[in-house]
Structure 1
Amino acid sequence: MSIDPTAQIHPSAIVEDGATIGTGTKVGPFCLIGAEVTLGADVDLKSHVVVTGETEIGDETVIFPFSNIGDIPQDLKFRGEKTRLVVGKRNRIRENVTMNAGTEGGGGVTKVGDDGLFMAGSHVAHDVIIGDRVILVNNASVAGHCVLEDDVIVGGLSGVHQWVRIGRGAIIGAVTMVTADVIPYGLVQGPRGVLDGLNLVGLKRKGVARSDITALRAAFQTLAQGEGTFLERANRLKDEGESDYVTELAEFVLGKSDRSFLTPN
């Protein structure tokens, strides 16, 4: 066990032999920290938090009561193999959140980036890869093997089907089921998710230049109404190279995927 002398461990907390607790970290009442857990500097576990398995929690991450972080995956194929969960820095993990370790068949690691907000009751399943500044709103669930790129927002009570990729800056509306890949900066809504436009509000908030937003809107229209198949339209967008944002969108569509795409209405 390695506990930094500046760490604060409540007397009612259980820290198993082998755990590593970083500088200034606080472990609140009735928390359980497993033997293979590493907590970085200035991590704050409020109370009644379980962190188990081979799990790393990055600096300044705050975890609220009754969250279960790093437990075994909800996958019937899992046979106790050695897998991990890695959570980045400055994440806010609210009440009753669950994040599971990976599986051997999915690469062995679930990974969460920096500066995310995981609201109450949200779920991150095995082998998921989540980028930076991602928001999962209350009770949103991300199934196994999904990829959520930077700045994605998933609305409350929404579900993301396994193996789905969601591109950077996309937004998923509340109470939406996403069963296919979502283009970067896409706007998806409706009970059975429909690609209904671009996340223009997010682009403006990010300070994206008007010329890039105009190029993205034109690219969206090309994907929606251009000649040829969806992939052929994406290839044309890549060749045109009008904007880095459009190039990113086209490369995402042309990248490797196990799912089809949500296509524009």
Structure 2
Amino acid sequence: MADAVHPTAVVDPRARIHPGVTVGAYSMVGPDVTIGADVEIGHHCVLEGRVELGPGVKVGHGSILGGEPQDLKFKEGTPSGVRIGAKTVIREYVTIHRATRADGWTRVGEGCLLMAMSHIAHDCTVGDGAIIINYAGITGHCEIGERATVGGLTGVLPFTRVGAYAYVGGVSKVNADVPPYMLVAGNPAVAHGINVVGLRRAGMPTAERRVLQDAYSLLYRSGLTPQRALERIQSELPPLPPLARLVEFLAGARRGICGPPRRGAGEGGDVTPEPESERV
């Protein structure tokens, strides 16, 4: 390991580091850090507190992992940490703060991409394959589902959920839960359709995408309340696995969900609304 650590890096001897890990110039690795095989840590990085990096993680220059949470109720010395899944890429100057509660973890899944200058706050959970674009701010206790995308310069309010495969357009304010598979944008973020492009890339069959579009129509185009729309989705549409995930998410929404576009309002953000019926 010694040959792969830059001579100006400060690595605590108590840190558990797999052979072959590279640590760049002027980086600091604390005593409670665990680093898996083939991890690359850039220059001027700081890993403090309990930080666990899975195999193949890449940490860009200037990133800070495991810093104290920006939360007034946090008590200094609380043993908590940050866990990063295998092959996740963390680009330059990303900050990820540790959890507020004892033995708690801020978690980022496998194969994620956290672009430069983005922030993941304390007690968040980011699912496998999620993408957080430049300057996005994920505040405390948020949940970002697998393969969801959060656009650049977007702010997500505390305790908010973004469902799996959802796409949040750039420069958005997310103050309510974003259901899985939805395309949302704006201030506040509103739903513009199903994330058809993302679902195609994920290999979802056409039949399943069409059912999700039918669910979107009931949820956002029927004029029904979310609860009544949920009841009709459950009673009228085939119980395919993606629909079951959507229903479970809607049933568990405690902060409300993103609403429909306001009549006469501009689209905003960086999304192009999908047609109500997918083109084949």
Normalising by structure 2, we get a TM-score of 0.88
Partner of 2:93: 96
1:84 equivalenced with 2:93 (yes/no): no
Partner of 2:241: 244
Matches within 5 A, 1:218-229: 218-226=214-222, 228-229=224-225
Secondary structure at the counterpart of residue 198 of structure 2: helix
Specify which of 211, 217, 221 is matched with residue 213 of structure 2.
217
Q: Is the 8 A contact 1:220 1:264 kept in 2?
A: no
Partner of 2:67: 71
1:77 and 1:139 map into 2 onto residues whose CA distance is 25
Amino acid at match of 1:37: V
Task: Name whichever of 184-193 and 93-102 sits farther off.
Answer: 184-193
Amino acid at match of 2:97: N
Say if 1:209 and 1:13 are closer, same or farther in 2 by CA, change over 3 A.
same
Amino acid at match of 1:248: R
Secondary structure at the counterpart of residue 104 of structure 1: coil
Specify which of 156, 160, 163 is matched with residue 160 of structure 1.
156
* Paired residues, number: 259
Specify which of 164, 177, 197 is matched with residue 181 of structure 1.
177
Specify which of 161, 182, 194 is matched with residue 190 of structure 2.
194
Note the alpha carbon deviations across 1:206-250, whole angstroms, 9 max, x for none.
121111111111111111244753123213323445122112111
Partner of 1:11: 7
1:62 and 1:72 map into 2 onto residues whose CA distance is 21
1:83 and 1:235 map into 2 onto residues whose CA distance is 41
Say if 1:189 and 1:130 are closer, same or farther in 2 by CA, change over 3 A.
same
1:181 and 1:10 map into 2 onto residues whose CA distance is 44
Q: Is the 8 A contact 2:42 2:62 kept in 1?
A: no
Q: Is the 8 A contact 1:163 1:258 kept in 2?
A: no
Task: Name whichever of 186-195 and 108-117 sits farther off.
Answer: 186-195
2:75 and 2:236 map into 1 onto residues whose CA distance is 48
Partner of 1:147: 143
Q: Structure 1: where are the runs of 5+ without partners?
A: none
Normalising by structure 1, we get a TM-score of 0.93
Q: What is the aligned-residue identity percentage?
A: 37
Root-mean-square deviation (CA, aligned residues, Å) is 1.6
Partner of 1:56: 52
Secondary structure at the counterpart of residue 187 of structure 1: strand
1:197 and 1:217 map into 2 onto residues whose CA distance is 8
1:253 and 1:138 map into 2 onto residues whose CA distance is 28
Q: Structure 2: where are the runs of 5+ without partners?
A: 262-280
